[in-house]
Structure formats: structure tokens, C-alpha cells
Amino acid sequence: MPLFLPHFNLQKFNTLAVPALAQYFVSIKTDDELRDALAFARTENLPLLLLGGGSNIVLRADFCGLVVQIKSQGKEVVNENDEFVWLKVAAGENWHQLVEYSLDNALYGLENLSLIPGSVGAAPIQNIGAYGVEIKELVTELSALNIRSGLSVNFTNESCQFGYRDSIFKQSLKDQYVITAVTFRLRKQPQLNLTYPALRAALADIVETEITPQHVSAAVIDIRQTKLPDPAIIPNVGSFFKNPIIDKLQFEALKEANPAIVAYPAATNWVKLAAAWLIDQAGWRGRVEGGAAVHTQQALVLTNPDKLSGAVVLELATLIQQSVFERFGVMLEMEPRIYP
């Protein structure tokens, strides 16, 4: 039986360093411990907060329920052919350490996703992506426990219903399952994705035929460290807003009024706007409100340098949303989960 700790301070367990208390906290390493934790929550009628690396949550206030930290570990090759290796990874594994492991073992595909904070189990929920790659391209299936029944269920890639920073676990199955393991199909031979302009620019000094996945990973790390603050030094959750997707008609009107607007094709008749550009143009980069701040190098990142309440950060986020909507008619959507 895992140890349930009452009145537990979560400040060291969320990358915004918010000093919120959990009514109960438990750290689990196995599926059986997870089932025990879920049973405890059901018996005590406690709301659940599932915690990986704590890099995609904002604790608005104390959490009156059970916080379950997923710390399961393990990697296993479950299938292999001449071209691919299927690697099953426990949900509690650190994401960036998985990327490093894959490169050390000549398994390719994750390199563009280097240095993204968080855990493996949280990654599919958000369909994390960076520098031209999303994990929906690499996940073949995942295992999860049903929170109510404790039964294990497998989800195929298709049944996860991945979208832009989205999945079924943020939509119709929100708060119904705990992901316990994820299986990735990784290549034995590199097939580099250099479509992202900043990544191509960072690798411009290397002959393209000589670029390796290790080069790509190093370039991504360098770009991220240049643009994004280290949460261990300046508390943050990375990108706070999604890049909004609008239809082409709305985009053409915006572009006429703002010729320098930054945007990318999304799908037929849809355009993805750079949220950082919108926030910057609305005058928010580098501003401080109530102790929370917009990062000077990347307007998508809100920071909590004084380790204040999550409500302070959310107040700043709301002001930014209102300002961008008034200026451009576009409503930004917050990316992290908000509790309670």
C-alpha cells in the first residue's frame, strides 16, 4: 500500500513553484500502487490530480483532494523489424531523458522534441510538439487505467484522437483515465525533419548530408535554452498559450491590417497564428503585473519569479487574453491545465 501524505506542499512539484497544499499526496511506481491510490480516492470521495513533471499545470489554490505523482520507470522493446523498433516506456519516465536514451541507442524520431519538460505519460494528453514534429507521429498505442474501475485499457493511435496540442484525454475522456505506458515506433535509420525555419537556420553551418539526429537535438536544446527560461531558475510552465488557428478569411482581414503578422498554414482553409507575435504586438513582452511576468525573450512564457499564488499568474494571463482579443479579435487559449 502506498503512503498517503496529508497537507502536502506542492511547491517543489510544479514548475511554476506555486506554494499550494494538497489535502493528500501519494507517489506511485507500479500499476498496483496506482490502483490502490484510485481506490483510496473513491473511498474517501476525493477529486484527483495526476502529476507527472508538474510542467503543464497551474495551481490556482490549494487542492482539496488526492494528488497522485506518477513515478513509474521502465523501457522495453516490444517489437522490431528491419526498419523500426517499438519501444514501450513507463509513464513516469522523464521526457528529455527518454530522448537522450533513444539517441544513445540509435533510435530516431524524438530528436526534435528534446528538452521538453514533463513526463512520458503526460506527453500524449497534450500531443506535445516542437520544431516540426508532434508525438502523434510516433505513438502507436498506449496503456491506461480507468479511474473508476481500475481496469487496464489499450488505446491505438487512432483512438487517441490526436489534434493540435490535443487528444481524447483532454476532450471526451478528460479525467477518466491514467496513462501508464506509451509505445513509440522509432526508426533505426535517421529520417530528419528540418522543416522548421529556426532549426534549419541553427544547422546552416553543417552540410545537410552530414547532419545527424544528435546535431538536431543539440540545435533544439540550444534554441530552447536561448528562448525559454529554466524553470529551476525562473518558475514557468513553458508556452502558456496555444497558437490560435483561424480560417483564411479572418486571416486575410488581419493581414491587411497587420502586414507583418506571423502565421503558418494549418490545414485546408485554416491558418495558424504565432501567439507570441500577437502578445508581443499587444505590448506585453517583458511586462510585470502583480508579481507575475511575461518573459523578455519569449512572449508565450509567463513566469512566477516570486513564487506567488497561481491566481496571480492566471490574472496576468487573463489580461493578455483580453488585450490580444481587443487588438486582433483573436481569443488565445491557455495551454496548461488549471486546478482546482
Domains and CATH numbers, the chain: 5-70 (3.30.43.10), 75-227 (3.30.465.10), 236-339 (3.90.78.10)
The closest alpha carbon to 186, from 130, 122, 111, belongs to 111
Residues 6+ apart with CB under 8 A from 185: 84, 85, 86, 109, 138, 139, 140
Element (DSSP H or E) covering residue 308? none
Distance separating the N- and C-terminal Cα atoms of the chain: 27
Distances (CA, A) of 165 to 126, 227, 269, 308: 5, 20, 19, 27
In this prediction, residue 260 carries a pLDDT of: 97
Question: E-assigned strands of 240-336?
Answer: 245-247, 263-267, 270-273, 288-289, 292-294, 301-303
Q: What is the pLDDT along the chain (340 residues), one digit of tens a residue?
A: 899 999 999 999 999 999 999 999 999 999 999 999 999 999 999 999 999 999 999 999 999 999 999 999 999 999 999 999 999 999 999 999 999 999 999 999 999 999 999 999 999 999 999 999 999 999 999 999 999 999 999 999 999 999 999 999 999 999 999 999 999 999 999 999 999 999 999 999 999 999 999 999 999 999 999 989 999 999 999 999 999 999 999 999 999 999 999 999 988 899 999 999 999 999 999 999 999 999 999 999 999 999 999 999 999 999 999 999 999 999 999 999 999 9
In this prediction, residue 140 carries a pLDDT of: 98
Q: Which residues are catalytic?
A: 165, 239, 335
In this prediction, residue 267 carries a pLDDT of: 83
pTM above 0.75, yes or no: yes
Phi/psi zone of residue 3: left (φ > 0), alpha (ψ -120 to 50 degrees), beta?
Answer: beta
Q: What is the DSSP string of 192-244?
A: ----SHHHHHHTTTS-GGG--HHHHHHHHHHHHHHHS--TTTS-EEEE-BPPP
Q: Which residues is 179 bridged to in the sheet?
A: 144
User: Phi and psi for 338 in degrees, rounded to 5?
Assistant: -115, 130
